[in-house]
Structure 1
Amino acid sequence: MKQLLKQVIVDQQEINHDKWVTRKIPQLLIDCNEVLVISGIRRCGKSVLLHQIQNKQSEKDYYFNFDDDRLSKFTVDNFQQLYEVFIELFGEQKTFYFDEIQNIEGWELFVRRLYDKKCKVFVTGSNAKMLSKELGTHLTGRYCTYELYPFSFSEYLNFFEIKYKPNDFYSTAGVAKLTKYFNQYLFDGGFPQYLKDKNEIYLKSLYESILYKDVMVRNNIKNEKEILELVYFLASNVAKLSSYSSLTRLIGLKHSATIKNYIEHIENTFLIFQISKYDYSLKKQIANPKKTYFIDNAIAHKLGFNISENYGRFLENLVFIELKRRNCEVFYHTDKTECDFLIRNKNKITQAIQVCYSFNNETRSREIKGLINALKVYSLNMGLIITADKEEEIETD
């Protein structure tokens, strides 16, 4: 095993991480004095961000990526050997960078040992449940977490080196330029590797890797057809309501608990998110239909059934991901009318948001009515309607 570990370490040292695929590093990641955990979907840029942080540190360090097929027999018992190989190759260091560490059951025990030795540890992972369970068991109070997403629109523009100024949001030429790129981003999404060459085979490979490795294999799910049909339906119905019972009938299962488990496993990969209707009764929140959003528009757009490009639903998906990026707790509202998003802060609804790509005569009345209703229900003075191309203030009685 030691010889193999040496080979893997040396090979990984030689991998070229594209320096132009850069992310803004939040100060939290620099200032954290505990174990730093960066989580997010596969291929969203966690490794690149890890190397950016690594390059900003002055200390010498160790780096190891566990997402390597040569490590299929690596277990928690091999961590000590890995440590010894590090020392043999690079001498004694106090800073560790571990990519996709959740692949190794019991990893948190080794990280805890390093932490207790006053080592600085950075880890990445792409399974929310495994990370939270392991961190909560052995590293309670000893870690900071940061969730990384595919590129935002500003990161998308930076990726393609598209320059823009604040005035561009108001000038005719500037608005036309930004609208052009935004409409591309709306369907191309923000996965760095996909944006390089727009290779749909890569996108399909990523999607299949998530479903097969992170959902089916990891959770011992045998029925591939059920998982594929479920995700295909959800991708075809982004931002729409669905209940566990309706999905159970659609997929042809006997018990809604199976669908619930499937969705939980898929959510743990960061591929999808579900939000609940806001209700003061937790029981009703759980029972009501959910709205499903995807981590990135490209996957939902390319892999779902979309006869026409639905700008409205994909804009809503983008807004939801931006709210997640800002650590918002999100719900939806519906009674006589619907409001797309409610934001809760400290057990109180603090904001209501509608999303409408084209704010025209056909949609204007509906969107305003839905927002006003939500404002009244939750005693809010002001709400927000996010559109693609309109900006105005609307006062109502």
Structure 2
Amino acid sequence: MNERDYLHKLLDSLPDLLAALILEGQKNIKSIAIIPRDYHFEDSLNYVLVGLRRAGKSTLLFKRAQDLVDKQNVDWSQIVYLNFEDERLDGFQLADCNNILIAANQLTTKKHYFLFDEIQNIAGWEKFARRLADQGESVYLTGSNSKVLGHDIVLRLGGRYMTKYVAPFSFTEYLTAKKIPHDKLSVLDTVNNGQIRAAANEYLCYGGLPESIILTDKRNYLTSIYQNVFLADIIVRNKIRNEKAISLLLRKIADTVIHQVSYATLYKNIKNMISTVSRNSIIDYIDYAKDAYLLFSTKNYFAKFSERESSPKYYFTDNGILNLFYLDKLPALLENLVAIKLHNKYQENLFYLKSQKTGIDIDFYVPASKTAIQVAWEVNDTSKEREVGNLIKLADNFDEVENLIIVTHGEEAEIQQEDKIIQLMPLYKFLLMR
């Protein structure tokens, strides 16, 4: 008897199993101490939480449950939490989903609040999620793959859910987790300022995955997370046979952080080592890594649409994972961290600027705030000419830019040249900016 037939035979007991899991979830969520994060939920909306594995999506679900109970007088019996990576739900399918409602109503007939972790493990789950929304239920979903939980799925859900991207800890959340004060007055305090700077250095190298903060052996933990994302969310989910090719590709992308790189260049580099790989496979592999929230990209604001798509700059969504590929590349880590902060705030409205005609080469451009940003580990005589020169040239030729910033590791100054002012900003201050 296969697993599915066995489950059917025990169908009458499935609601009891689900009720037991729901009660277990309520008990666990009650006992968890949660660090506040900078996310807000509207009571009238349903949500799909997406992002990298271990970035904190489940914890946000738990915090939402706690807030519903503590601040809105919801009873714990109304909280229906299930994690579909629980091995006790192996074999669970769409046809079984109505048993969740039966189990929930065994516990209470009051309004329910459904919190489902990694729901993409159930084929066709969106039909059940849409039915819940159509019936006026409150639903919160999480998943680690944009291919099945991204903008397309929101459309398939009939516009009844809002997508919320959950990133690893921002620097302010990181400081909160480490119990380091970071309000304006605390930043001015000498001792506290030293702690903030030290935390910025640690954050630069090990990133913001929440569970890594309290660990001594951060590198091994980050390695396990990367392997899990690589194998489960990229290789297995997309049924990739050429595991070596995509492994080499991700290493090449790590090497190209801070540089624009074309599909053709990446294909050529991988083809030299693995003759069986195709250009289309390289494009697909990159998409899979982005779907798993391992990578994101920025495009050249000055380029034509076709060129924007074919020659982006790639970054990793967590510095700790990127640093697994490096021995000593602090300047690349610095730019990647600046990219993370900007991307988390502006998403697709973040660009770089590069023009062969004018010679302008700017690391980041944010149209929404009319800001151009360069990144340099330090501004010495050599780098000053390049970084400052590019910003001045941009300001002289591009009226849309009003704010000019150079993010450094630790330097702080104001550079005035002609009628232009450039803010030289240390990393920790940039990371604390709202």
User: TM-score, length-normalised on structure 2?
Assistant: 0.82
Provide the rounded CA distance (Å) in 1 between the counterparts of 2:196 and 2:316. 24
Provide the rounded CA distance (Å) in 2 between the counterparts of 1:156 and 1:297. 13
Contact 1:312 1:358 survives alignment (8 Å): no
Cα offset, 1:242, TM superposition? 2.0
Provide the rounded CA distance (Å) in 2 between the counterparts of 1:261 and 1:218. 13
Contact 1:236 1:300 survives alignment (8 Å): no
Matched, 1:149 2:167: yes
Cα offset, 1:171, TM superposition? 5.2
* Corresponding residue number in structure 2 for 1:240: 259
CA RMSD of aligned residues (A): 2.3
Contact 1:230 1:251 survives alignment (8 Å): yes
Q: Which runs of 5+ in 1 are unaligned?
A: none
Matched, 1:344 2:344: no
Matches within 5 A, 1:109-188: 109-131=127-149, 132-140=151-159, 142-170=160-188, 172-188=190-206
After superposition, give the CA deviation of every residue in 1:310-365 in whole Å (9 maximum; x if it has no partner): 222212111111112213411111232421001234xxx83211122322333222
After superposition, give the CA deviation of every residue in 1:44-102 in whole Å (9 maximum; x if it has no partner): 11111111111111322211111223333122111112221222244453321111112
* Corresponding residue number in structure 1 for 2:319: 297
* Corresponding residue number in structure 2 for 1:369: 389
* Letter paired with 2:196: L
* Corresponding residue number in structure 2 for 1:192: 210
Contact 2:352 2:365 survives alignment (8 Å): yes
Q: Among residues 229, 233, 248, which one is paired with 1:229 in the alignment?
A: 248
Q: Secondary structure at the match of 2:370?
A: strand
* Corresponding residue number in structure 1 for 2:22: 9
* Letter paired with 2:62: H
Q: Among residues 51, 54, 61, which one is paired with 1:40 in the alignment?
A: 51
* Corresponding residue number in structure 1 for 2:88: 70
* Letter paired with 1:22: I
Q: Among residues 380, 403, 407, which one is paired with 1:360 in the alignment?
A: 380
* Letter paired with 1:313: A
After superposition, give the CA deviation of every residue in 1:288-324 in whole Å (9 maximum; x if it has no partner): x22111111111112x0x232x222212111111112
Q: Secondary structure at the match of 1:393?
A: strand
Provide the rounded CA distance (Å) in 2 between the counterparts of 1:372 and 1:42. 41
Provide the rounded CA distance (Å) in 1 between the counterparts of 2:28 and 2:327. 40
Provide the rounded CA distance (Å) in 2 between the counterparts of 1:171 and 1:7. 51
Contact 2:260 2:314 survives alignment (8 Å): yes
Provide the rounded CA distance (Å) in 1 between the counterparts of 2:250 and 2:26. 36
Provide the rounded CA distance (Å) in 2 between the counterparts of 1:17 and 1:233. 44
Aligned residues: 387
Provide the rounded CA distance (Å) in 2 between the counterparts of 1:39 and 1:350. 29
- Cα distance change, pair 232–225 in 1 and its aligned pair in 2 (3 A): same
* Corresponding residue number in structure 2 for 1:331: 351
- Cα distance change, pair 63–209 in 1 and its aligned pair in 2 (3 A): same
Q: Secondary structure at the match of 1:326?
A: helix
* Letter paired with 1:117: Q
Matches within 5 A, 1:262-273: 262-273=285-296
Contact 1:167 1:174 survives alignment (8 Å): no
Provide the rounded CA distance (Å) in 2 between the counterparts of 1:365 and 1:114. 59
Cα offset, 1:179, TM superposition? 1.6
* Letter paired with 1:128: S
* Corresponding residue number in structure 2 for 1:383: 404
- Cα distance change, pair 18–307 in 1 and its aligned pair in 2 (3 A): farther
Provide the rounded CA distance (Å) in 1 between the counterparts of 2:245 and 2:260. 20
- Cα distance change, pair 363–13 in 1 and its aligned pair in 2 (3 A): same
Provide the rounded CA distance (Å) in 2 between the counterparts of 1:195 and 1:174. 19
User: TM-score, length-normalised on structure 1?
Assistant: 0.90
* Letter paired with 1:184: E
* Identity score, percent: 31
Q: Secondary structure at the match of 1:394?
A: strand
Q: Secondary structure at the match of 2:49?
A: strand
* Corresponding residue number in structure 2 for 1:52: 63
Provide the rounded CA distance (Å) in 2 between the counterparts of 1:17 and 1:311. 41
Provide the rounded CA distance (Å) in 1 between the counterparts of 2:200 and 2:90. 42
Matches within 5 A, 1:187-226: 187-199=205-217, 200-226=219-245
- Cα distance change, pair 107–386 in 1 and its aligned pair in 2 (3 A): same
Q: Secondary structure at the match of 1:158?
A: helix
Contact 2:180 2:196 survives alignment (8 Å): no
Q: Which runs of 5+ in 2 are unaligned?
A: 1-6, 8-13, 419-434
From the CA coordinates, give the structure whose radius of gyration is larger. 2
Cα offset, 1:151, TM superposition? 0.9
Provide the rounded CA distance (Å) in 2 between the counterparts of 1:375 and 1:20. 48
Provide the rounded CA distance (Å) in 1 between the counterparts of 2:388 and 2:97. 58
Q: Among residues 300, 309, 313, which one is paired with 1:286 in the alignment?
A: 309
Cα offset, 1:376, TM superposition? 3.5
Provide the rounded CA distance (Å) in 1 between the counterparts of 2:265 and 2:47. 40
Provide the rounded CA distance (Å) in 2 between the counterparts of 1:377 and 1:69. 60
* Letter paired with 1:213: A
- Cα distance change, pair 274–139 in 1 and its aligned pair in 2 (3 A): same
Q: Secondary structure at the match of 2:163?
A: strand
Provide the rounded CA distance (Å) in 1 between the counterparts of 2:343 and 2:31. 26
Cα offset, 1:159, TM superposition? 1.0
Contact 1:21 1:192 survives alignment (8 Å): no
* Corresponding residue number in structure 1 for 2:421: none
- Cα distance change, pair 382–25 in 1 and its aligned pair in 2 (3 A): closer
After superposition, give the CA deviation of every residue in 1:81-138 in whole Å (9 maximum; x if it has no partner): 2221222244453321111112222212111111111111111121112112222123
Provide the rounded CA distance (Å) in 1 between the counterparts of 2:191 and 2:19. 55
Provide the rounded CA distance (Å) in 2 between the counterparts of 1:381 and 1:204. 41
* Corresponding residue number in structure 2 for 1:22: 35
Cα offset, 1:149, TM superposition? 0.8
Provide the rounded CA distance (Å) in 2 between the counterparts of 1:221 and 1:263. 12
Contact 1:44 1:149 survives alignment (8 Å): yes
